[in-house]
Amino acid sequence: MTIRAAVAGASGYAGGELLRLLVGHPEVEIGALTAGGNAGTLLGDHHPNLQPLADRVLTETTADELRGHDVVFLALPHGHSAAIAAELGEAVVIDCGADHRLNDPTDWARWYGGEHPGTWPYGIPELPGGRERLSSAMRIAVPGCFPTVSSLALVPALGAGLVEPDAVVVAVTGTSGAGRSLKPHLLSAEVMGSASAYGVGGAHRHTPELVQNLSAAAGAPVKVSFTPVLAPMPRGILATCSAPLRDGVDEAALRAVYAQAYADESFVRMLPEGQWPQTSATLGANTVHLQLAVDADAARLVVIGAEDNLTKGTAGGAVQCMNLATGLPEATGLPTAGVAP
């Protein structure tokens, strides 16, 4: 089985990570590579690590360029995917942007503005019912990088009713999560040697996605206080996720629930007790590492999660979804070993 795949937005960080994974995918032939302002340039000018594709010329991102492929990955800015996807007919379209993640049109209008472009099957296979929704799907919404790790960190406890529906997430992230366009606050002189919070007070656009995922798991509305923190590293997320314990819940019960939830998962690993996740261990891998503890004095569950925001948090998750949608084994072409040091 050979899948002909196109990548729109190939000059960006997410597009480059998609191509890194697709180059090594045994069932994929890489077709059109498109870009916006970088159309007409060589891919190697933007991603010198991608030597097998370095001489490929980026073309304009249009429906005509993307038609005729089995799978189209859209690594485009928010708000740009819906119009192109509507013209792509029978291709499997996997949107790495936010256009189709949210269920509620009111949430979309509040956080992104404009008319809601519709909801597609949500691309975290490890969530309850996720694989069933993604298998043979023709349209898939890749989740945000923060919701990927944070949802996987808290869903087992919420789904089992072991914690109250009131979550706090503080997540440290690398600068690549903000994309590749020039932003003064992301210059190395501004970032190196400094950490800074942003989107404070419930202002980050991934908040409604977290609320959506955690509320679905709990079967009731979940309050989420989410604070992202920018750290001087290029990639990776370390999320500290907590919630109040229900009466009578102890650490043994929590560990049993998490062990059962992720026992058969290739890409989610509960670390041995006493070992804590670190972003370096997930670099380049399509994995989430988790560890939990009970803060007895505060009566709270604390779960730490680590992932590479560009791999499992975006491109790796997208390829995982492609495998499910096209009937391939889910793990095909996806690394589970990180790069170290």
Spatial CB neighbours of 232, under 8 Å, sequence gap ≥ 6: 175, 191, 192, 193, 194, 195
Task: For residue 241, indicate whether it is catalytic.
Answer: no
Closest to 71 (Cα-Cα) out of 47, 43, 95, 102: 95
Spatial separation of the C-alpha atoms in residues 167 and 141, rounded to whole Å: 24
User: Which stretches of the chain are DSSP H helices?
Assistant: 13-23, 43-46, 63-66, 81-85, 105-111, 130-134, 145-159, 188-191, 207-218, 251-262, 316-325
DSSP string of 114-129, one letter each residue: S-------BS-TTSTT
- Half-sphere CA count of 334, side-chain side, radius 13 A: 27
Contact 229, 236 (CB under 8 A): no
Render 34-60 in DSSP notation, one character per residue: EESTTTTSBHHHH-TT-GGGTTPBPEE
Question: Strand order in 300-307's β-sheet?
Answer: 196-197, 223-230, 166-173, 237-244, 300-307, 288-295, 268-270
**Environment class of residue 118 by beta-carbon count within 10 Å: exposed (0-12), middle (13-18) or buried (19+)?**
middle
User: Tokens 């391939």 — which residue?
Assistant: 328
DSSP state string for 89-123: TTSEEEE-SSTTT-S-HHHHHHHT-S-------BS
The catalytic residues are: 145
